[in-house]
Structure 1
């Protein structure tokens, strides 16, 4: 396996660091604790445990060397019996002579090997004769055998004489303390992160035009300060929206009054040559006023509720049919979503009317996304618009090529209203080229839209693609 170059390591690590505040805060606590535990364990293991084990092994090797030398001075059974009794009483060593035997040929070593290496070095330094030992056969003892002319001198020693057997208790206590520390840290971090998550949820809900009535600042001082600033900002934005809506409503009302008088005078006046043209101008002025007011208010105060997506598409399709277009609908039966009905209906009607005004065929389709979101598309077979002008089409009052729109109703707010409604639901509207030859507008709403689709239709029957009509002129 090839190692990454040094300059790529920061990028490699950055991709694997948690992205959430909860994950990063936990990493800040857990990583130093784990590093500390590893360092302390290593220092203890290297500087204490191995040193103590080496001293114990050297002491045991010295006792065994004394026993071997004492036996070799007088290899009689009587001396062996006296030596074994003294070693048992004074050094807890069990000594026996296996006459005519030789050392085993197999080597038995423990899984870690530290004890074996330390004991081997100690015996090698103290004994001149061949030896063999086993630290694995008996859990509480060490089996050491030394080759003598008469046979094998076998010595069984307690394991604690060769190794520090209580080291695991230190590691265990260290692990328990670490777990307790991390548990307390996780509890406190979770409480602080929950306050930030609630603030984020409240901000997201406000962006969708919803309110969180029980939201109040809590958590750490800085989090409470941020929440208080958010509440003040929300109130200022809401006042601005209310003032704008009231202003547009007032202007709309003031303009409708003279328009109504003009309509009445035209209705009562005798027929004349320009009468029909004047009625058309009045209709266009009234339509423009309606668009201004729709764009200003956006139905932000309307509460969300479950809405049938096929019914919405059918309503928008009927509007496109009245404009003279041939309409095709494709949506799974039973597909529903939690939406603000009037606002979302306005967005679809704008897109469908826009497509019908620039094409002869209009297709409206919807499908539930695997992520739990919703996708709705409106497509047409019109001329479309260049790709580099897609974003320009969403600008309020943008009519793109004025020479192609001078005889059309509207002021260029159709796509702007549709995008404003979609973003108010947490989603967005994008434009693309339709396979029908014209333009397609795609409304995508995230999982927060609470998509509920029956299992029989989640396979995407009839609604696998979503494309919309002519964003060419966004003046629905």
Structure 2
């Protein structure tokens, strides 16, 4: 029993709306619809059926009177008076069909209207059975404004055409119509109000996503309900603090770059003027390594957030990156559709791919780069190598800044452990990510995913 309850709960959860708009609409519309259904049911059950039953009993009583009056005196003169009295006082049209018999079958209502006519037929049939001793037959569907009732009498059939409103309450459909109109109207109002509130949240989400990707911020101001405006105001304040922090860091990096590169330049000039020896060669190598490390630190801290997003052909960009790796001595193959496009920051993506490709080239002899569209949208770029790889449990550790997995892969002596960290930072700045996996070539596979 408990298992069935859990399965039912999961089934309901899977079919519930996933968006805030859908859930809010369901919260408002579902109770209204249930209330309308309940009110309609109570109306038909407690009022409409009662009124119909009483009307049917009254009509059955009039018909029983007419039948008994005819049986008391079946002469044409007496029947003419009976028919005229019934027409004037009861709005009943009575005709005597000599030698006729009751129909063998009853006309069924259309399937669409069967739930509506079934209570009427049951009520009228019950009333006629209580008041008449003779066989009878009736039809509530043949004529739009009348009910056809026939009673077997000696010598033929007494046919009575009664106005429909004498057999049952005819205004029930008006009530249902008004209830339906009210439900539709309330639903439309709910949609308008909910959509207005959800749009404010969507705008806040778009602004946060644009800021997170480092793109240009569209004009945004707090809008919507009090809670949404409060969240938007908090976001704007947070954005301002982050922008101030970025500006301060940029100014600091500019100063550091100037202060460190100036003495490095003097050292390089001094070493260039000194007579070449083994010691000076070592010193030049140290200065070059120091300059490379400074470049890596500054690149990691600076990021690529200021670059504009452009639509580029990914194959051309990948081949440009791989040309540099080939010139450095790597064996690289490229597989990508020439028409595959991507909305990216070109220089940032080049830097990320360069780090991935060069990292693969350092640790393997064969490097394969492929780009392909993703089934759920966007693209992914795969960089494979045939090197020693990284243990699966240390994939995330490889992305940590300044991390060096010496025992897993032979690290580049010039590296500072920022290549994968920079690449992931670029990918996430585009709204994507980078993950590691086992390569079909036997080494490491880096998968760079970009959104559509």
Q: Give the TM-score taking structure 2 as reference length.
A: 0.95
**Which deviates more, 247-256 or 161-170?**
247-256
Instruction: Deviation per CA, 1:365-416: give whole Å up to 9, x if none.
Output: 1122344311111111111111111111111111112695466211111011
Q: Map of 1:88-99 to 2, 5 A cutoff?
A: 88-99=87-98
Alignment of 1:29 onto 2:28: yes
Q: Which has the higher helix share?
A: 2
**Which deviates more, 394-403 or 70-79?**
394-403
Instruction: Find the aligned partners of 2:93 and 2:150 in 1 and give their Cα distance.
Output: 11
Alignment of 1:20 onto 2:19: yes
Alignment of 1:442 onto 2:447: yes
How far apart are residue 300 of structure 1 and its match? 0.8
Instruction: Find the aligned partners of 2:227 and 2:407 in 1 and give their Cα distance.
Output: 52
Q: Map of 1:42-191 to 2, 5 A cutoff?
A: 42-110=41-109, 111-112=114-115, 113-191=118-196
- DSSP-derived class of the 2:395 partner: helix
Alignment of 1:284 onto 2:283: no
Higher relative contact order (CA 8 A, sep 6+): 1
Instruction: Find the aligned partners of 1:410 and 1:253 in 2 and give their Cα distance.
Output: 22
Unaligned runs of 5+ in 2: none
Alpha carbons of structure 1 residues 391 and 151: separation in structure 2 relative to 1, 3 Å: same
Instruction: Deviation per CA, 1:277-331: give whole Å up to 9, x if none.
Output: 2222222111111111111011111111222211210121012212311111111
Q: Map of 1:285-434 to 2, 5 A cutoff?
A: 285-401=290-406, 405=410, 408-434=413-439
Instruction: Find the aligned partners of 2:31 and 2:446 in 1 and give their Cα distance.
Output: 51
Instruction: Find the aligned partners of 2:255 and 2:385 in 1 and give their Cα distance.
Output: 37
- DSSP-derived class of the 1:117 partner: helix
Contact 1:319 1:352 in 2 (8 A): no
Contact 2:390 2:409 in 1 (8 A): no
Contact 1:192 1:219 in 2 (8 A): yes
Instruction: Deviation per CA, 1:148-200: give whole Å up to 9, x if none.
Output: 12111111111111011121111111211222222122112111111110000
Alpha carbons of structure 1 residues 3 and 394: separation in structure 2 relative to 1, 3 Å: closer
Alignment of 1:233 onto 2:238: yes
- DSSP-derived class of the 2:106 partner: coil
- DSSP-derived class of the 1:330 partner: strand
| Aligned-pair Cα RMSD in Å | 1.8
How far apart are residue 332 of structure 1 and its match? 1.2
**Which deviates more, 102-111 or 49-58?**
102-111
The number of equivalent residue pairs is: 446
Alpha carbons of structure 1 residues 154 and 4: separation in structure 2 relative to 1, 3 Å: farther
Contact 1:284 1:410 in 2 (8 A): no
How far apart are residue 343 of structure 1 and its match? 1.1
How far apart are residue 4 of structure 1 and its match? 8.1
Alpha carbons of structure 1 residues 245 and 400: separation in structure 2 relative to 1, 3 Å: farther
Instruction: Find the aligned partners of 2:10 and 2:441 in 1 and give their Cα distance.
Output: 43
Alpha carbons of structure 1 residues 435 and 405: separation in structure 2 relative to 1, 3 Å: closer
Instruction: Find the aligned partners of 1:383 and 1:407 in 2 and give their Cα distance.
Output: 14
Alpha carbons of structure 1 residues 209 and 379: separation in structure 2 relative to 1, 3 Å: same
